Amino acid sequence: MTLLLKNGRLVDPSQDIDGPLDILIRNGKVARIARNIPSPAGKNRKADSGATVLDMKGLVVVPGLIDMHVHLREPGFEYKETIATGCEAAVAGGFTAVACMANTDPVNDNRSVTEFILRKAAACGKARVYPVASITRNLEGKILSEFWDLKEAGAAAFSDDGRPVTNGTVMRRALEYAHSLDMPVLSHSEDPTLSAGGVMNESLVSTELGLRGIPAAAEETMIARDILLAEYTRASVHICHVTTAGSVRLIREAKARGVTVTAETAPHYFTLTDEALKDYDTNLKVNPPLRSTADMEAVREALRDGTIDAVASDHAPHALTDKAVEFDLAAFGMVGLETSLGLTLKLVHKGILSLPELVVRMSVRPAQILRVPGGTLKPGSDADITVLDLNRFWTVDSGSFRSRSRNTPFQDMPMKGRAVMTIVGGQVVYRELENAP
Amino acid sequence: MILQKKDILGIKDLPVEEIAIILDTAESFVEVSSREIKKVPTLRGKTIINLFYEASTRTRTSFEIAGKRLSADTINISASTSSVVKGETLIDTAKNLEAMNPDVIVIRHSASGAPHMLARMVRQSVINAGDGSNEHPTQALLDLMTIRAKKGTITGLKVAIVGDIAHSRVARSNIYGLQKMGAQVTVAGPATMMPRDIEGMGVEVRTSLEEAVSGVDVIMMLRIQLERQQQNFFPSLREYAQHYCLSRRHLDLAGPDVLVMHPGPINRGVEIAPEIADGPSSVILEQVTNGVAVRMALLYLLTGGKQ
């Protein structure tokens, strides 16, 4: 199949491109980028018979967005999400690929689960799915999973996300072993002895609400450890869901020292603060928790200056039964695949990020960190493409989510800008454009 | 005068005028409890459900007596005998109770915010009888009533609240209530029991009991849960008592006619020396008496008082 996207603004930071360029897609790959590529009705008519030409006037064409941190819940928690519904949500949110965490049931700590996830994703045929295998067997923090076998089965990274690896030696071995396989380790950095029993950020707000707090230090002490271990082993470490000013400072200083540390944050951490919890809305209960205004500002600044490499949604679907309970009893997490881009575009509208910088945070860097294809529209690369309408006004309506779960605190929030078409491997897997194939 | 709110969930959201209405109404109900026949027909035909997810003797009994003295039908449900043990959620319980058409639901729950959730779910008035570490509004109201009765006013008083501030819903409700009524509040206790950024609530913070009680008009001692020692909030009960047990020498530092208060139950010799708990400065039992009157006032204002 051949697809020609004409008259769009093409933004591809991997090639330092931001301008009016056409893009020709053939056999699932980017075939050519140039001004005014002749339509298949022209001289290449015969060769391109059956091709589709789409007018991208007023739209922005970018390398497919990659969400490097989602929970697809299958196997084990299909009532919250399945790989199929998660992939539907991903492409509707503009993502051509997602990395799904290992805290399923059974845990993705062996080849059979990794292969199951890949098989399900292939059957769905929407977003690419990169299974993240667990660092330790059954997420118990004791014995390393079989990294080599898992890599061969198709795992893209290792993480015990949802739980920290508390044993320093286990984390050290994980970093060393994964490094030898050129595989990333994604760290859920949390000292559980400091966060134990906590349900929100420890602050004046938690004091006023009488809710048990999780101190910033619970995150920061573990990030400090992970940075020191990465420095000592000369391996690399990726810090998941960074939320505090102190964490940002640690990462910034480490990067300046030359430590190979990368980091991500999630849209809710640069959009909301713990002040939002005053009505005990369980949709705002996330781990790590929503932090203070100063923390939120630090996270925004870190995204701007690149200290935080990536935006990942930490899409954590939960059924109503997990959330419509007392705050202390509610599950941690919110869905994010279908609001992530809209919330990050708010940073663009506010002038905190440029559009190319957004593409770096949501596509280029995630691909680099995960060592997966994507993040570029260089000719010859997979045609994973997201088309954005930056001027489309819309309102968050959880009732229309493709995700199986609805746990969002952003219901009814007005947004400006969204993905109107998502292309994976040259196939249009999501579209809001008329006449799109 | 009537209350504007459907529910009494906390002092934080209660306007000063409404606090005054509640206290005035409560004072008028004190007399009922001193009669030979302690019953008035005010809430005849009304139904009050006491939904207690957390063990409580005095608060539950106080609400029950308050309802009965106003001739309401009061029903007590405790978590150990309710469908909670069968796995029913709070929302399902709420919907079932609502379907039985009570007039007021009184709830105590170990989770902060649970009464707020209940109040959103049911059309009946909800009274918070204590939620987690958040608020215990009826306790604060009865404390305010007791102070006002003894001192004539609350405005301008200096009050020290001492003990486990971090885990105390009584402390939070009293901080809000006392400040709204014009008192200055100092909180004191071990640093491990001071919640984060508590200064942001407008209180002075002390770790020395001596400093905290110097010159104050009211000392509110809080209950120490003995299991906190296992959680390392303090090294030993002995050490805690040595530094935070209210004794004669502390009263000498306080202002003249200082009031000593405690929400109970007391750990004698840990929070308060026995002779102080039973001494002339203590108003601990008057607090209990006023508790019934405050709860009568709330039940009246939220139901009959509206009509």
A351-382 pLDDT, tens per residue? 999 999 999 999 999 999 999 999 999 999 99
Paired residues of A144 in beta bridges:
A136
pLDDT above 50 for B263: yes
Query: How buried is residue A297: exposed, middle or buried, by Cβ count under 10 Å (0-12/13-18/19+)?
Result: middle
B216-252 residue pLDDT tens: 999 999 999 988 888 899 999 999 999 999 999 999 9
- Whole-number percent of chain B with pLDDT over 70: 96
At A373, is the secondary structure helix, strand, or coil? coil
Given a cut of 60, whether residue A47 has pLDDT beyond it is: no
The rounded distance, in Å, linking the Cα atoms of A101 and A168 is: 21
Q: What is the pLDDT of residues A220-279, one digit of tens each?
A: 999 999 999 999 999 999 999 999 999 999 999 999 999 999 999 999 999 999 999 999
Say whether pLDDT at A410 is over 70: yes
Are the Cβ atoms of A327 and B113 closer than 8 angstroms? yes
Rounded to an integer, what distance in angstroms lies between the CA atom of residue A165 and that of residue A171?
A: 6
Interface test with B, best of A193, A209, A278, A282 (most B CBs within 10 A): A209
Query: Mean pLDDT over residues A111-119, rounded?
Result: 98
Residue with tokens 């400065």: B281
| 3-class secondary structure, A98 | strand
Report residue B2's pLDDT band, with 50, 70 and 90 as the boundaries.
Answer: confident
Residue type, B139: Q
Q: Supply B300's token pair.
A: 């009246």
What's the confidence (pLDDT) of residue A433? 79
- Cα gap A296→A242, rounded to integer Å: 10
Phi, psi of A388 (to 5 degrees): -110, 140
In angstroms, what separates the C-alpha of B167 from chain A's closest C-alpha? 7
Enumerate the β-bridge partners of residue A414: A395
From the list B89, B113, B169, which residue is nearest A280 (CB)? B113
Contacts of residue B288, Cβ cutoff 8 Å, sequence gap at least 6: B58, B62, B264
CA proximity to A230, closest of A250, A254, A249, A247: A254
Q: Does A321 touch chain B (CB under 8 A)?
A: yes
Question: Considering only CA atoms, which of B13, B38, B35, B104 is closest in space to residue B298?
Answer: B104
With cut-offs at 50, 70 and 90, classify the pLDDT of residue A51: confident
Here the ipTM equals: 0.91
- % of chain A surpassing 70 pLDDT: 97
pLDDT at B27: 96
Q: Are B113 and B131 in contact (CB under 8 A)?
A: yes
Q: Which residues pair with B160 in a beta bridge?
A: B186, B219
* Residue A350 burial by Cβ neighbours in a 10 Å radius (0-12, 13-18, 19+): exposed
Show the tokens assigned to B281: 């400065």
Whole-model pTM: value is: 0.93
- Candidates A67, A81, A84, A75; CA nearest to A406 is A81
Q: Does the structure show a pLDDT above 90 at A43?
A: no
> Looking at the predicted structure, is the pLDDT value of residue B305 above 70?
no
B86 annotated active-site: yes
pLDDT at B3: 85
- Asked about A314 being catalytic, the answer comes back as yes
Q: Output phi, psi for B112, to 5 deg.
A: -60, 135
Q: What is the pLDDT of residues B165-220, one digit of tens each?
A: 999 999 999 999 999 999 999 999 999 999 999 999 999 999 999 999 999 999 99
End-to-end CA distance of chain B: 10
- Distance, CA of B132 to CA of A366 (rounded, Å): 42
Amino acid at B69: R
* pLDDT score at A176: 98
pLDDT of residue A46: 47
Residue A45 has pLDDT above 50, yes or no: no
Question: Considering only CB atoms, which chain A residues are within 8 Å of B111?
Answer: 326-329
Q: What pLDDT does B82 receive?
A: 62
- The 10 Å CB-count burial string (b at 16+, else e) for A2-29 is bbbbbbbbbbbbbeebbeebbbbbbebe
Q: Choose among A422, A128, B252: nearest CA to A431.
A: A422
Neighbours of A116 (CB within 10 A): 18
Q: How far apart are CA A269 and CA A290, in angstroms?
A: 6
Nearest to B161 by CA among B185, B143, B178: B185
pLDDT of B38 over the 60 cut = yes
Residue B307: pLDDT band (50, 70, 90) is very low
Report helix, strand or coil for A29: strand
Among A202, A207, A326, the residue with its CB nearest the CB of B111 is: A326
Using the beta-carbon criterion (under 8 Å), do B197 and A328 form an inter-chain contact?
A: no
The edge-to-edge listing of strands for the beta sheet with B104-109 is B73-78, B47-52, B104-109, B125-131
β-sheet with A261-265: strand ranges across: A186-187, A237-239, A261-265, A310-311
Backbone phi, then psi, for A220, in 5-degree steps? -70, -40
Rounded-to-integer distance, Cα B12 and Cα B176, Å: 6
Taking the C-alpha atoms of residue B63 and residue B136, their distance in angstroms, rounded to an integer, is: 13
Q: Which of A191, A314, A382, A384 is catalytic?
A: A314
Residue A66 and residue A374 in contact, taking contact as beta carbons nearer than 8 Å:
yes
CB-CB under 8 Å, A211 with B109: no
Task: Considering only CA atoms, give the Rg of chain A.
Answer: 21
On the question of pLDDT at A41 being above 90, the answer is: no
| pLDDT on residue B4 | 84
The percent of chain A in helix, strand and coil, each rounded to the nearest 5, is 35, 25, 40
Pull the structure tokens for residue A74. 């299958």
Rg (CA), chain B: 19
**Which phi and psi (to 5°) does residue B129 adopt?**
-100, 25
Residue of B nearest to A204 (CA): B197
Q: Which residues of A touch B116 (CB under 8 A)?
A: 279-280
Whether B197 and A280 lie within 8 Å, measured CB to CB = no
Residue A1 confidence (pLDDT): 78
Hey, are the CB atoms on A210 and B133 less than 8 Å from each other? yes
Q: What is the mean pLDDT of chain A?
A: 96
Task: Give the tens place of pLDDT for each residue, A181-232.
Answer: 999 999 999 999 999 999 999 999 999 999 999 999 999 999 999 999 999 9
CB atoms within 10 A of CB B123: 9
* Residue A382 · residue A128 · CB < 8 Å: no
User: Residue B83's pLDDT band (boundaries 50, 70, 90)?
Assistant: low
Find the DSSP H helices in A154-262. 168-180, 192-195, 204-209, 216-233, 245-257
